[in-house]
Structure 1
């Protein structure tokens, strides 16, 4: 297969640097040419066997990154090569995964619809940056599979809305959101997603629950800017993403005579008010679980009691009963990580045992459930173990599966 890629690579101004097992490494004179080649390769591969079932096609993964490389004879190496290789591992079969740098350069120059995937931790790469997936149709509307390391209370500062103003106020609003992100990140007990991650949702019409799910955070800080007669009003509210409940809200008025002084005042006042509100919300969350949480836990415990019977006799009714109990638990508490994890595990078993008529749909559902479980609680051992099991059986990504499974016992 590698040799069949050469004509497309050459046609886009690139050249093959080398091969590694079933992989091909190529470099290009520009990001746009590299991206055009990547999309052309995937489109050509999809057209070669249009009638074949998706799981019978030869599906390629492609990773794109811009960076310095070091040439040693006929070989190249360095961070640019390493990052591209890591991105290739994240790509969906038949898709392309590329970094923020590539996205910023090609967007508007190439007509594509891509999906933001958060800021993954890449093996042996110390820094983090955003990644993007193409095409989105492969993902069937699922949440980004990159799982932010939200192992503590987490928040995302959303882009502030601007009402009845121009570019000056829009820049002011973005500056406030950026400074709030920086200020909140100094609270070492709080995980704050990067500005790049949150601003990827600018202009996207989704509710708080979906925004929290995409960013992998528990709380959202939203706001708006209004201007009238030389004065500006900033309104801000702290929201629990899963429920949409308001935890704190306030507004600040000032003049635009000294925009930086006003911005500093807003950031200082907001962070000062948010920190105790967040701490109270976290304490309340631990101290007083909602009634829905208790009922969800009850359904979860009933499902765990059926595990032995479900797997000893998968043709019996215990497996289906367990899946139904867990579905009820998730409906009551969509963020209950153990229920999501066990539901994903049961769903995978059901599809492996042939208990689901549409095996592909069952596989997608299992993957979605365990991704949501890890996103809800990245420190939950059951979620990590279930994610590893489902990953191994759905994508064959054994390295990723083993990494998650090995983490699970250490957290118990």
Structure 2
């Protein structure tokens, strides 16, 4: 069953004392619940763009596109229930408890949701007062500046079966939540307005000042410094338009609506966060929001000790910058998919190509290559398109029949990238990998990937391709450090298989074959349609003396790539010490030369 991991606003509701109510008059209580769902609950959920994931008897699990929508929906239902219960004796009242959380969930192919995001929302519901609403800190942070709410701060609460305490806020229902009037930055009152800025021709982002939620002035400097570093780090992503600090910091200390920020600054995305101190530890929260819709693309929290404040600042900055790039690219790919074909520009065509390269197999790469060629026809100097097309030709050569024309074309596109002097770290790293594999230009490849990482040391793509180059060049220490850093920065990246493979190759070089088996198996799990990964797994098993375990792995390899031949590892840039060792394992299994 396929699954998708994402950030979602989750609402879980339950009827207080349902067993008691049903025991007294089950037929009547069921009829009243059905009526409430049809004429109050479901219509209200629809108004606020919610999706009922499932009913659990007397309860519901609902997904919303934003926490603001979830809270507004919950308040409207709870206020309506106050009116509907008026005049009824306590033993006949239907009262709901509601828990709301913003967090990580896993969506199954049938639409069901699971994971911590659901579990925390469900546990929040259980600690609510009858007719109440409980929010996690992550959820509360999203609405505190956008809705007028009467709040009770309940502090850190240890929820059942949740490992870490959750900071909980209770809403005092009976007071409507209305959007606060938006006041443009720098204005003295709501009567003044600012013109909306047009979006630039590439993805754009503003990093808002992180809120100091501790009341400690020292943390103000920490938060501001971290935001400045994040802005600097994001500015190294050359396909991204980043608003300067002086513009985004006009919102410091103000309640803002990200939709208005997006219009006033002319950006598609907004990154916001907060800092809270507890003892000698800091908790930093951050979330990436699509400004036009308020949709959350990513959110996370980071904890650290105050012993070395500058080291902590650097760590958090690196992690945030590292995860924002792939998150933005996923969002941009989805946006490009929704555009009409006649409106596609070179950037849109490039984005449409990227997902088709995920399997690293010729059939999908052919689809990507058509988009990339069209992109280059519109913009012949587009370095990122040249780099991806170079990689397509590497895929065609290595897994599609060793056609010399593919080798020449791949090297040509890769050299175009390097010669252009581009400061696109991703493009440089992909080009470096291509000239390493197809041109056996080890020194040039290492120089190019080192330049890529010097341009943007938090670029996950550069780290992933760099880990492979170092591994196949026999530099196992650098391969390991790049692979581990890439997985730490972007663990759910489509290129994660590359880091596991690099770790496997480094382990083989050090003759730690059982460890290599483990890494190569993880690589195959991360990209199960990529044939070559099964070769590395099978060869590692053979080298570890586990030949019987390798048989089904070999079978899967040949199913995906019937024309597989060992010669490929001697036709590409892999150094002989690595190629020979993997080939020795493969020969034990009878793989064709």
Normalised by the shorter chain, which TM-score bucket? 0.3 to 0.5
Instruction: Report which of the two structures shows the higher radius of gyration computed on alpha carbons.
Output: 2
Q: Provide TM-score, normalisation by structure 2.
A: 0.25
